[in-house]
Structure 1
Amino acid sequence: MKKSLVIAISAVSGGGKTTLTKELASKLPKVSVLHFDDYTFHGPENLAKWSKEGADHNAWNLAPLVEDVLLLKERYDYILLDYPFAYQNHWMKDFINIAVYIDTPLDVALARRMLRDYPEGSAEEIRNDLSYYLSYGREAYLEMEHKIKPNSDLVIDGTLSREEIMQRIIEEIHKR
């Protein structure tokens, strides 16, 4: 089997992983990109409850993503994963060569998410989302900071420019 480099890019929602993954793909040769959000997985039905109970990342059956990675490893030099779990899921951990965590402050990530998700949103929609964030979302994001960040190979300040973040990832790729 061909040896592809699989790079998982994690961050909280609004942390910049999708934008970064797309831009990084334009800088690398023979690259494929997989986005976690494009899949339907068998996982916890209640994410708030899952997070409160310790966020067991192995509760997610990521078989469809694993299948795609295995298929793409034969055709591409690089596979970029816009993927929130780094090495924390036993289905995926053995396929990842570099786990990157974009460490974006929660206030910056929240502001980005609000701007992204509600360009024409009503004040009521924004209030509801912020209320949900305070009740459930923030706890899940803090869980990522406690489990995903320390288990990543490379942690990058999410307030740096995209160019600086990409350069640091490319430097890490060249080291391998």
Structure 2
Amino acid sequence: MKRKSPMIIAIAAVSGGGKTTIASCVKRKLPNSKTIYFDDYDFDGPKDITKWIDNGCNPDDWDLSPLIRDINQLITERRDYIIVDFPFAYLHSQTSSLIDFAVFIDTPLDIAMARRIHRDFKSGSAEEILLDLDNYLAGGRRGYLTMLDTTKPNSDLIVDGTLPKFEIAEIITQEVLNIV
């Protein structure tokens, strides 16, 4: 069976789990590829994330039309791979049929939290960091755990998020290149 071109690879992880970093690394390893980053978009979605988490974290509550439009545009180009930094993998009903291979980077929550604080609060105050930690404890952690229960088991490949980024990218690249 011949693989369709372009192959669309979704890379999922919890916030701070390495999606963006690994998507960039994989792009450098796969020929004729393009990467789309979830955080480059301003999606319409739940206004109260804690309430959304409490209601089950349904990915379909997010309007991903701009992302879908961009994926469809890239499909028309002569690319071999489209790598999507995308937290929902196959779970969003409007994007699931577009994705050919979903990867979940399984990063321990303490590492993901440390990365988030380091990334998001380089020039932040202690009060801002404490507020973010309060939000994490109030609901964010439940959202992360839900992701581990939903996105992780619905992925084609689960990679240990404690490995060095070059190893994670190599594992993903080899799996992708082995798909016939």
TM-score range for the pair, normalised by the shorter chain length: over 0.9
- Write the mapping of 1:24-173 to structure 2, written as runs, cut at 5 A: 24-75=26-77, 76-173=79-176
**Shift of residue 120, structure 1, vs aligned partner:** 2.5
**1:21 paired residue number:** 23
Task: Return the TM-score normalized by structure 1.
Answer: 0.95
Aligned length: 175
1:4-42 deviations in Å (ceiling 9; x for gaps): 110000011110111111121111211111111111223
**Shift of residue 163, structure 1, vs aligned partner:** 1.4
Q: Which residues of structure 2 form unaligned runs of 5+?
A: none
Q: Helix, strand or coil: the match of 2:29?
A: coil
Equivalents in 1 of 2:55, 2:95: separation in Å?
22
Q: Which residues of structure 1 form unaligned runs of 5+?
A: none
1:71-101 deviations in Å (ceiling 9; x for gaps): 1012211111011000000110001011000
Q: Helix, strand or coil: the match of 2:97?
A: helix
Equivalents in 2 of 1:133, 1:127: separation in Å?
10
Equivalents in 1 of 2:66, 2:117: separation in Å?
30
Q: 1:42 to 1:125 in 2, by over 3 A?
A: closer
Task: Return the TM-score normalized by structure 2.
Answer: 0.93
CA RMSD across the alignment: 1.2
1:115-137 deviations in Å (ceiling 9; x for gaps): 11112322111111111111111
Equivalents in 1 of 2:177, 2:28: separation in Å?
16
Equivalents in 2 of 1:131, 1:55: separation in Å?
19
Q: Is the 8 A contact 1:51 1:140 kept in 2?
A: yes
Matched to 1:56, the amino acid is N
The farther-off stretch of 43-52 and 82-91 is 43-52
